[in-house]
Chains A and B, each alone.
Chain A
Amino acid sequence: MGMEQVWLLPAIPAGIFVVIALFSRILPRGGDWLAILGLITVTVLGVLVLIDFQGSFTGGHFDAHGNNVFAFDWIRVADDFFAIEFSTFVDAIAVTMIVVVSIVALMVMVYSVGYMHGEARYGWYFALLSFFTAAMLTLVVSGNMILLYLAWEGVGLASYLLIGFYWERRTAAEAAKKAFITTRIGDVGLLIGIILLWRATGSFDIQTIIEAARAGAIGETYLTVSMILLFAGAAGKSAQFPLHVWLPDAMEGPTPVSALIHAATMVVAGVYLVARFSPVYAEVLIARDVVLYIGLLTALMAATMGLVESDIKRVLAYSTVSQLGFMFVALGVGSVTAAMFHLFTHAFFKSLLFLGSGSVIHATEQQTVEQLGGLRRKLPLTATTFTIGSLALAGVPIFAGFFSKDEILLETLKGAPLAAYVALAFTAALTALYTTRLVVLTFFGEPRNRHAHEHAHEAPTSMAGPLVLLAALATVAGFVALDGVGKALGFAGGFGELVFLEEGHHFKLDPAVAFGATAASLVAIALGWAYWSGAAERAARARRWAPELHALLVNRYYLDNLYQAAIDRVVLGLARVVAWFDKRIINETGVDGGAQTIGYFGLRLKFLQTGRIPNYALAMAVGLAAIALLAFGTQ
């Protein structure tokens, strides 16, 4: 198993999806064991791909360190005029993604066995998870824009179906619809971008496009527009401003799904896309600045909204949006290393946090922090692992998030205006603040809902296992940045030596940045503890002190209301005009009108039928004579 057979990775879960979808009623346990077995295989194969990759990896130029495997022609028109090849491409970014996707998907599947136990459509759930994994892995390894787009929509479909898994609940159905339509808006941009790039280069092959763009074969304005359109797709998928509104609502899905799709894998597809095209973004700095500032704005906005949200999962959703903003900031300053590193660590600690919140919900059947509290005595394992995840998210040293966040801050300081760095550092401190709030309100203090507290019980083994494993990863995953650890694992060096744009670099802490960030995080944690522990009196006072600000945040900057108003006024208004046109002009005038005209003629002309045989005979004879005359008269 090497890079040439990487197509097996998506093929295995795709096959399992078909089997479970068709036979889940017959298979014992709905076929969950089959899905897990498939994922174990995929994880092992993924590690083999990683080993093969690092064995052949010599470093050097970005374009060179990939392995493009052409599998077969999919569509080919007029030789090379329009060719879609089914090809796979493996480079350092793809390998990172394969590792992240397969590990998190496996953890989530094992966890789901406990979490979804006894649910209706249990087998279908595992079929969908397999389908998602297949689509995500296709997305990651595809070497062709069309295949990538296909997989891109595939993960969107899986996300839609899983958000709306409890479709009996109206909110879930609406959230699924919202997620699909919102991301679709970005996808239109992506599709136009793909077509523009094809028009300029005549190819859908990603490496060909990148090389053509780097060689200056595409006009600068044209390329800038194309790249911004690609980013629009990425922003939709990765929930960046102004298309971020779907992700908090997506929490209507089952919690393990939120961990897999809406924290660790699908939502980072946008980051992956921009990272894949980072050599091109380096050529068009305007487009890259768009990425930077959208990411920065999103990170800051989402962090502030996370401060006041009371639904435990939605806090995590805002946190995800915010962290994705961090990754885009890194890409915006041109550091693929920092972005992919944060993607890597974030996948582990954020899926851990989601699975932890799932454990809380499973135990108490409550998910607003007003109903929780004091759970650390009842759920010691969940509380410990959740706290570890929170420390990683808050960027406390030695935990995974510290290394990657520090890397992003450092790159921002080097590559962006000071104001951007300050805003980002402030956001990092806010992250620590809302994370502390969440932990304190959920696990510390006194229980606010006695009943829920009394019946709380620790998670079963199938749920506890993934929590412990992910907690371990959230603790140590950051160390791969260090050269020594990378060498010990058999690589040339740390993460920065594997994933990079122009040249690899050794990870080293900038004392000022690291110390500043750590100090800010610790202060924020202390502040959060002081404000929300106990009866949360200080927080309540702070809320009264600035009610307008609180209302602004609780109402998500009124963006959802604005969109709703825009939809009600503009979209529905336009829809009414179109509906009127369709009803009056197309249907009543065109279709019905045509039928009525014919009907009128029929009504008048029917009197030609006299029913008298001699009339018919005469008409027949005259007709025959006319035909005979026409046929033979000219000869």
Chain B
Amino acid sequence: MIPMENFLLLSAVLFAIGFYGVLARRSAILILISVELMLAGVAINFVTFATYLDSQAFSGAIFALFVITVAAAEVGLALGIVLRIFRERQTANVDEVDTLKW
């Protein structure tokens, strides 16, 4: 059996790459893709623990399903917002969308 640490490592790497992408990228689309990577990392984390700690319980798997569902909904919403912003300003660069402050 593959050791649990391998999966956890994969999950952590995916999360870290996604997090770096969120911080470093300027394009709204790429930030969204990075968020998806982070969510994928989290989902792997859930499934791993579910399988290794108690293979009879499904709670971890159900959480992973929830994460996927919510991620799909979130992307649908976020892409809609990005599309509106692009129509208004002809750009998807988040640095140029900074007027909603004081």
Interface, chain A (partner B; CB < 8 A)? 606-607, 609-614, 617-618, 621
Contact = CB atoms under 8 A, between A and B. Distances in A.
B101 A609 contact: yes
A621 B102 CA distance: 23
Nearest to B102: A606
Of B24, B99, B100, B101, most A-chain CB atoms within 10 Å = B101
Given A610-B98, A614-B22, A617-B22, 4 more contacts: A611-B97, A611-B98, A612-B98, A614-B23
Interface string B2-44: 0000000000000000010011100000010000000000000
**Which 9 A/B pairs are nearest by Cβ-Cβ distance?**
A611-B98, A611-B101, A609-B101, A606-B102, A613-B94, A617-B22, A614-B23, A612-B98, A618-B23
Q: Is the interface of A mostly helix, strand, loop or mixed?
A: helix
A606 B98 CA distance: 14
A561 B101 CA distance: 65
A617 B99 contact: no
Contacts of A610: 98, 101
Interface in B77-102: 94-95, 97-102
B31 A611 contact: no
Contacts of A609: 101-102
Contacts of B23: 614, 617-618, 621
A609 B98 CA distance: 9
27 contacts: A606-B101, A606-B102, A607-B102, A609-B101, A609-B102, A610-B98, A610-B101, A611-B97, A611-B98, A611-B99, A611-B100, A611-B101, A612-B94, A612-B95, A612-B98, A613-B31, A613-B94, A613-B97, A614-B22, A614-B23, A614-B24, A614-B94, A617-B22, A617-B23, A618-B23, A621-B19, A621-B23
Contacts of B102: 606-607, 609
Nearest to A603: B102
A176 B39 CA distance: 77
A281 B31 CA distance: 92
A390 to B, nearest CB: 84
Nearest to A609: B101
A621 B34 CA distance: 14
Contacts of B22: 614, 617
A612 B96 CA distance: 8
A606 B101 CA distance: 8
A614 B98 CA distance: 11
A289 B13 CA distance: 99
Contacts of A618: 23
Contacts of A614: 22-24, 94
Of A610, A612, A613, most B-chain CB atoms within 10 Å = A613
A375 B6 CA distance: 120
Nearest to A618: B23
Contacts of A607: 102
Contacts of B98: 610-612
Contacts of A621: 19, 23
Nearest to A621: B19
Contacts of B94: 612-614
Nearest to B94: A613
A585 to B, nearest CB: 33
Nearest to A613: B94
Contacts of A612: 94-95, 98
A618 B31 CA distance: 13
B82 to A, nearest CB: 12
Nearest to B19: A621
A482 B100 CA distance: 97
Contacts of B31: 613
A577 B17 CA distance: 69
A612 B94 CA distance: 7
Nearest to A602: B102
A614 B28 CA distance: 11
Nearest to A620: B22
A509 B95 CA distance: 111
A606 B31 CA distance: 26
Contacts of B101: 606, 609-611
Of A606, A610, A617, A618, most B-chain CB atoms within 10 Å = A617
B77 to A, nearest CB: 16
A23 B24 CA distance: 77
A612 B31 CA distance: 13
B23 to A, nearest CB: 5
B21 to A, nearest CB: 10
A613 B100 CA distance: 11
